[in-house]
Amino acid sequence: MRPDLAELDLGELEAALEARGFERFHARQLYRWIQKRGVTDFERMTDLPRSMRERLPSAFVLNTPQVVADHRSLDGTRKLMLELADGRRIEAVFIPDTPSMTFCISTQVGCAMACGFCLTGKMGLVRHLTAGEIVGQVRVLAAATGLLESPFNIVLMGMGEPLHNYEHTMKALRMLHAEQGLAVSPRRVTLSTVGIVPGLERLAREPLMPNLAVSLHATTDEQRSAVVPPNRKYPLAAILDACRRFPLRKRSRITFEYVLLEGVNDTPEDARRLAKLLSGIKSKVNLIPLNPSPGIPYRRPSDERVDRFVQILADRHLTVMVRKSRGRDIRAACGQLIVEGGTKKSAAQQMALLMGG
């Protein structure tokens, strides 16, 4: 089988070229063409010798997600449906003026977490994305939006749980950070997780560490287990303990995401419990009033209930913001990403995957 160039970091690319009779030093040029400039046509890689360009197609493949749909919201948000080499499809979102340009990237086809307010969870887990497929989404979005030469932010908040696909997610971040590629600073990357504790502990030891966002969504274990099933294995106390021990850069904080569900987790008592849970953690709270969708059995709280929740947290000296939903008219907002027709694993298979870490 021919190796896929999109899957190789710089060191792997050097070794792969050498093993097939090419000079190692060409790896930096090749990596730059693919990962920085988004070029997939070997003939356009004009600083490589012609003889090398002619031989590369027989030695390697170069897969890039293909855009099969590009939906544009009235607010400027764009949702791209991307087809992978095996025909599976995922969604990624471009959110302009946030205040920076932001790409919302997927790490799995579907998701095994089955959060009750999220459409992606209804797909189940189809499969993990590879590092090359994760990076490929960024290349495609950057090219589609004209941002290959401009700074942008990345949030790993699309389809999937990043820490459930740990190895490929972290390799993708290293590839994105490479100087010969897009050189994305980890300060511009935010990884969102429901709180897979072993993954949090591994992430705490990474030399290249993104910003951390933890999806909390409840203030008691009973309440959280009902809406976020992984809480049965990784309860609130374990997640918050890992967060208290998590190493943070100077002036950095952990973002705690909290989807507000009317009559479920939006009461004044919930707000007071949330403030108590976060005591002693360098944190900020990102409140997300539910983005309703067909098939989701919850309702969006009124603005009055949201404002009351915010005020209680602010009175207890927490930094709190309410996330403005973007792209709701094209089903691109938080919790609304779903691709129909995936073959999901059974509930037993998904739980086995989760319990295996």
Model confidence at 325, in pLDDT bands (50, 70, 90)? low
Matching residue, tokens 């009317």: 262
Q: Read off the tokens for 245.
A: 């021990």
Would you identify the CATH topology of the domain 5-59? DNA polymerase; domain 1 (1.10.150)
CATH topology match: 5-59 vs 66-355: no
Residues 200 and 184: their CA atoms lie apart, in Å, by 21
Residues 306 and 287: their CA atoms lie apart, in Å, by 8
Q: Report the pLDDT value the prediction gives residue 120, as an integer from 0 to 100.
A: 86
pLDDT tens, residue by residue, 56-66:
999 999 999 99
Concatenating the DSSP letter of every residue in 131-169 gives HHHHHHHHHHHHHHTT-TTS--EEEE-SSS-GGGGHHHH
Q: Read off the tokens for 213.
A: 């966002």
Would you identify the CATH topology of the domain 66-355? TIM Barrel (3.20.20)
Q: Mind telling me the catalytic residues?
A: 91, 334
From residue 192, give the alpha-carbon distance in Å to each of 98, 153, 243, 252, 330: 17, 14, 13, 15, 22
Ranges of each domain in the chain: 5-59, 66-355
Residue 1: pLDDT over 50: yes
The secondary structure element, H or E, covering residue 313 is: helix 303-315
Range of weakest confidence among 125-129, 319-323, 348-352 = 348-352
Nearest to 123 by CA among 285, 355, 278, 345: 345
pLDDT tens, residue by residue, 19-39:
999 999 999 999 999 999 999
pTM over cut 0.75: yes
pLDDT tens, residue by residue, 251-299:
799 999 999 999 999 999 999 999 999 999 999 999 999 988 888 899 9
Matching residue, tokens 């990884």: 191
Cβ contacts of 296-299, under 8 Å, gap ≥ 24 = 296/116, 296/117, 296/118, 296/119, 296/335, 297/116, 298/116, 298/117, 298/261, 298/262, 298/264, 299/261, 299/262, 299/263
Matching residue, tokens 């090359």: 132
